[in-house]
Amino acid sequence: MSAKLLTAHSNVFKCLLTVAGFHPRAFSTGTAAFGSVKLKGRSCLTLKDFGPDEIKKMLWVSADVKHRIKQNNENLPLLQGKSIAMIFEKRSTRTRMSTETGFALLGGHPCFLTSQDIHLGVNESSTDTARVLSGLCDIVLARVYSHSTLEDLAKEASIPIINGLSDMYHPIQILADFLTLQEHYGSLNGLTVSWIGDGNNVLHSFMMTAAKLGVHLKISTPKGYEPEKSVIQEAQRLSEKYGTQLVLTTDPMEAAHESNVLVTDTWVSMGQEEEKKKRLKDFEGYQITMQTGSVARPDWTFLHCLPRKSEEVDDQVFYSSRSLVFPEAENRKWTIMGLMVSLLTDYSPKMPMMKF
């Protein structure tokens, strides 16, 4: 099937990196460029709001915190005396565990709040909740159904608000994904990521981030399941600005062709259970298998934000050496820690800057 190709300079693209094997993480010494990046005090509702150097700084801080704690066994109480309110309208494994354990590991106090605890927007308006929490804690992470809830919180709060997932975006997942890919390939610039599945919040966050890191993006969704039109328009603008390739197609094999990374997600998200039968039928042919990978680059890898269902990716791929899903899941912890440190402190990494 035909693809829609969006480029920076008509048919001229930047050359894709040819990666012949698996490489350790690479570093560079050009740290001066990040000296002017200021993240402290800001909210993170979508990576659309952050430029390339700001996203790279988040990843750099995350890698540094991971190295100092996991490799060097350092005690790093960067958030001692601080507290976080964790608001969860939707259940979670990775988001809750990574945030709660990560904030505590950095010396802070996490407070977990479900919809049964605070009734966000029901017993108390989002506006009032934002003002109250601004006086009781230092930062809020909210995992919500509607992105507008986050916007209401951020508008009234005097402390940073982090999007732990909304119907539009999942920025903290994408930070984990790109840290995982940077660690695996040694660099992000020039990689091709292929999304095969639903046009959902995780894909939206990829689309707001990939071009800023020099990553080409191919997207395959069934007809009727495309990403939001406004997100496509912004992704097109970003690909033109940063000189990367953006492909939209309905053919999974076309998307997978010559790709470094194959990515998918659940086809039936929370709140869509009644649509399950129809969705499974509409997504027939979209399961990622070794056959899908046969047209990808020789070094191709696989990502999935979890939890995974077998119809989305078969066991042969999911449990193979090409699958990075479990390092990806662990990096949810290190990247949320890096993001919280970045939004709450003026911390400067001690390790050399990574080669992006």
**Cα-to-chain-centroid distance, residue 316:** 25
- Which amino acid belongs to residue 82? K
Annotated catalytic, 111? no
**Cα-to-chain-centroid distance, residue 145:** 17
Q: What is the CA radius of gyration of the chain?
A: 20
Please identify which of the residues 15, 111, 137, 305 carries the catalytic annotation.
Answer: 305
Phi and psi, residue 53, nearest 5° = -65, -35
Q: Spell out the residues 6+ positions from residue 117 whose beta carbon is closer than 8 angstroms to its own.
A: none
Query: For residue 236, what are the CA distances in angstroms to 233, 245, 340?
Result: 5, 9, 30
Kindly state the tokens that stand for 171: 């920025």
Query: For residue 307, what are the CA distances in angstroms to 29, 133, 162, 212?
Result: 37, 31, 21, 27
Residue with tokens 């903290």: 172
Query: From start to end of the chain, where are the E strands?
Result: 4-6, 83-88, 109-114, 139-143, 161-165, 192-196, 216-220, 246-249, 261-264, 301-304
Are 24 and 149 in contact by the 8 Å Cβ rule? The answer is no
Q: Spell out the residues 6+ positions from residue 255 whose beta carbon is closer than 8 angstroms to its own.
A: 3, 194, 195, 196, 218, 219, 220, 247, 249
Phi and psi, residue 299, nearest 5° = -95, 20
Which residues form the catalytic set? Answer: 305
